[in-house]
Structure 1
């Protein structure tokens, strides 16, 4: 029997998964279910095999997606026993600052945080609910994207608003913390001198943010109370004058739901270009609007990187990760060029591995209970 950890990243339409051996954390299987809510399809591969497993699901909900994954693991029949299902949860609020085993009471508290991450949290929790029903002998473990930033000084987490609102949790939390924690662990192993220095980490993908990391700890980050603030993203606006939002509500007659949908779904690179929120598509386009959107993105990343450097009193390294950070060399070069005035600093690309970071946390948590 091989004890395993099933790591899930559950979104609105896609459930990504990896199966790890819990002893040495080697990947045994990986894949995804796409088309959740419409025409769901499973695609997976077993490590060490060239076979690609594909299947069309009869049902399309999150329960059906997870059931298909569990059935696949069962059919593979290599004596794998799932000890825990490990879930990425975007928002842990002020309470959840480290991985936890999810109980009904904890799940209820996480549901209360849905307004802070409306694009992600409901689906993260749908994965937990499905796992609770379908993988009854496995522990459900939640790892939080906000946790890595939990020890930031209040100087970097406080909004300039009245105390009554601050006391109700209106503050910065940050995101992409699992990715930044992975970067810190890689730096500690492969670049120990940089790990003890001042690092600006750039998680650039459909969601994007920057983090100031000094001595392996989060000092500052660009995302705010929600996953909307800071950098422009694939379809999210990033930072915008709050007065622009009140103008839309008061003068343009837009409702709160429409404004929220516009800021989350119709803005960012998609809104700027009028073409797409996908950087690969924009790089391949000859439309000047695509070039403008990419220039704007590079400018904003550079501006915020300089802000992160200010939070640490300088910069020793700029680390790129995420789909754009790892694969879009022209975007990286444009960002670095705009930061040349800061003087010499090292640039590194570190592939993201949030799943392994989550598996490490889960193994440690399970061992602490045994």
Structure 2
């Protein structure tokens, strides 16, 4: 019986996957991915009751996304999981103004999503190539897209618009926000912990190669640091984050950069890599004794601390602070420094708990709960697929959302 969901989550340098079985709830059958696609790629699969642990090299040079996909497909076939799949859920970074919930990926939808590639050049084309590959591998499976921008669609209008002529906003030049599937998973975890209030006035720090913060109230997005594109907001691995638009005009008009050169600069040569001149990898920078590495880390922490203040103002205070994603989960010294910058909000964390892998890492006198929760965008996608199927079964109820 085919009752398994395959989730595919393509990033700029990785392809993650998970397989869940629907038995009233979601049961994980397998989870893993191909990492470091551009440099010494590896296939890693976590052990479960249905699949073994895998850690194997896929070569010493870069591979394309199709090769990474084929490695995952071979693993799923070898362990009998491929034939169980009836639905494929895809994380797609940009849904634009049109797609604010899980959507069947038919020809019309795919054409519209291709049109959004300039707004997420390092992700959107990859996401859509994975949809094509999955359709070829599993032609009878339902292909459904879930969008990183969708979680932020409910934000107040003031949190979306720029101070540009109104007709430009009408044309879609607005703040969309990203990492929404990660934030949706955290909101679900907070509801499990706190009930419907989901931690109250919360700031979630999704800190990985791409990084952003999201302010939520009762699990609903109110403000976020990324905007029209994935360049905005925090300092990232190779992306610049917020920058004075005058700098961009200067680079185009006075330095005579082409649009392609400017795009490469902002997406691939800036951020931690650009400031340090060493690496965009946080662990590499933390291990380095070079002053430039320390300077890049200092800037990363400073900008996060400043944005936490801005989002706390938007919320009218702070009840809960959550760290997630690669740096957020695995760099306790970064969490310590960020929390130190937020001490004025009542944040106080316990160094032992912070370094010991606990979920709640606060001192008894902290006025803010500080949590470390692993990212799980794949489960968020699978959950959306179930909601998508339920909406097809009960379209009247779906229309009341």
Give the TM-score category using the shorter length. over 0.9
1:4/1:21 contact within 8 Å kept:
yes
Q: Which residue in 2 is equivalent to 1:364?
A: 387
Query: Cα deviations across residues 217-246 of structure 1 (Å, max 9, x unaligned)?
Result: 100000010000000101100000000000
Q: Paired residues, what number?
A: 369
Cα distance change of structure 1 residues 321 and 263 upon mapping to structure 2, 3 Å threshold: same
Query: Cα deviations across residues 308-352 of structure 1 (Å, max 9, x unaligned)?
Result: 011111111111111111111111111111111223322111111
1:44/1:54 contact within 8 Å kept:
no
1:35/1:60 contact within 8 Å kept:
no
Q: How big is the shift at 1:79?
A: 8.3
Cα distance change of structure 1 residues 299 and 168 upon mapping to structure 2, 3 Å threshold: same
- Cα distance between partner residues in 2 of 1:307 and 1:53: 42
1:194/1:317 contact within 8 Å kept:
no
Provide the secondary structure at the position in 1 that maps to 2:216. strand
Cα distance change of structure 1 residues 73 and 253 upon mapping to structure 2, 3 Å threshold: same
Q: How big is the shift at 1:13?
A: 4.7
Q: Which residue in 2 is equivalent to 1:26?
A: 27
Cα distance change of structure 1 residues 54 and 289 upon mapping to structure 2, 3 Å threshold: closer
1:229/1:238 contact within 8 Å kept:
yes
> Does structure 1 residue 226 correspond to structure 2 residue 229?
yes
Q: Which residue in 2 is equivalent to 1:106?
A: 109
Q: Which residue in 2 is equivalent to 1:158?
A: 161
- TM-score, normalised relative to structure 2: 0.86
Cα distance change of structure 1 residues 35 and 339 upon mapping to structure 2, 3 Å threshold: closer
Q: Which has the higher contact order (CA 8 A, sep 6+)?
A: 1
- Cα distance between partner residues in 1 of 2:169 and 2:82: 51
**Superposition pairs of residues 246-325 of structure 1, within 5 angstroms:** 246-325=249-328
- Cα distance between partner residues in 1 of 2:252 and 2:156: 34
Cα distance change of structure 1 residues 364 and 56 upon mapping to structure 2, 3 Å threshold: same
2:204/2:321 contact within 8 Å kept:
yes
Provide the secondary structure at the position in 2 that maps to 1:219. strand
| RMSD, aligned CA | 2.2
1:194/1:316 contact within 8 Å kept:
no
Q: How big is the shift at 1:173?
A: 0.3
Q: Which residue in 1 is equivalent to 2:340?
A: 337
- TM-score, normalised relative to structure 1: 0.93
In structure 2, list runs of 5 or more residues that go unmatched.
347-366, 394-401
- Cα distance between partner residues in 2 of 1:335 and 1:357: 27
Q: Which residue in 1 is equivalent to 2:15?
A: 15
Identify the range of structure 1 (161-170 vs 69-78) with the bigger mean alpha-carbon deviation. Answer: 69-78
> Does structure 1 residue 350 correspond to structure 2 residue 373?
yes
Provide the secondary structure at the position in 2 that maps to 1:119. coil
Provide the secondary structure at the position in 1 that maps to 2:212. strand
Query: Cα deviations across residues 67-109 of structure 1 (Å, max 9, x unaligned)?
Result: 4433432332268511111111000011110111110100001
Q: Which residue in 1 is equivalent to 2:178?
A: 175
Query: Cα deviations across residues 203-226 of structure 1 (Å, max 9, x unaligned)?
Result: 111100011100111000000100
1:2/1:21 contact within 8 Å kept:
no
Query: Cα deviations across residues 7-66 of structure 1 (Å, max 9, x unaligned)?
Result: 101235532211111223222122323565888764435513554274759x95544443
Q: Which residue in 2 is equivalent to 1:52?
A: 54
Q: Which residue in 2 is equivalent to 1:89?
A: 92
Provide the secondary structure at the position in 2 that maps to 1:304. helix
1:8/1:85 contact within 8 Å kept:
yes
- Cα distance between partner residues in 1 of 2:67 and 2:335: 39
In structure 1, list runs of 5 or more residues that go unmatched.
none
- Cα distance between partner residues in 2 of 1:255 and 1:368: 46
